[in-house]
Chains A and B, each alone.
Chain A
């Protein structure tokens, strides 16, 4: 069963713009992670946010978590062509494995 669902499915922006992706989930979680996947490669971990946290930053990345709305967002500021990739959220409830969403395909145009 799929827990997290990213939105939009695909996003195209110009270099320098900000990109926002959302993840909605159905049941309670205790943490949520965001991963990036470049074409033909494995996934790379970006950020982990716990259910008692509301916001985390890492460089140009900002992740928010709203447990009342069962949603998270990933913001990439000042995007670069190298940010072109698919982005996945993975959600986990206590004692369970992470479940990955279908991803958002981000294209950053030069």
Chain B
């Protein structure tokens, strides 16, 4: 099993450009999450999904959109990138809300 995978691993964007980050899991988990990690701030939840076709806002959703068209995939979109979105993005999945989360390896995004 691959667990949770993220594509791409690195990306550099110019301000105003758009991109989509892809997360895939092969554990048949219902819950999926997108976090961003900035120095000294831990992980902050951007959006999450409690099942195929559902999405919900987390702590810092502004500037991001998500979609969960298939149970195994969770996409994070940036419509118009800003330097403040420079961060490391992690996807995670879990069987249910109170259970352990499995994390992907992360995507390092730089917006210039």
Contact indicator B105/A41 (Cβ below 8 Å): yes
List B contacts of A30 (CB < 8 A): 98
Across chains A and B, the number of contacting residue pairs, with CB separation under 8 Å, is 49
Complex Cα distance, B101 from A48, in Å, reads 11
Chain B: residues with Cβ within 8 Å of the partner, total of: 24
The A interface, classified by DSSP as helix, strand, loop or mixed, is loop
Complex Cα distance, B40 from A2, in Å, reads 12
List B contacts of A57 (CB < 8 A): none
Chain A: residues with Cβ within 8 Å of the partner, total of: 22
Indicate whether B62 reaches chain A with its CB closer than 8 angstroms: no
What would be 28 A-B contacts, judged by CB atoms less than 8 Å apart? A2-B41, A2-B42, A33-B100, A40-B106, A41-B105, A41-B106, A42-B90, A42-B104, A42-B105, A43-B43, A43-B92, A43-B101, A44-B103, A48-B99, A48-B100, A88-B42, A92-B97, A92-B98, A97-B45, A97-B48, A97-B58, A97-B97, A99-B45, A99-B59, A100-B35, A100-B43, A101-B42, A103-B42
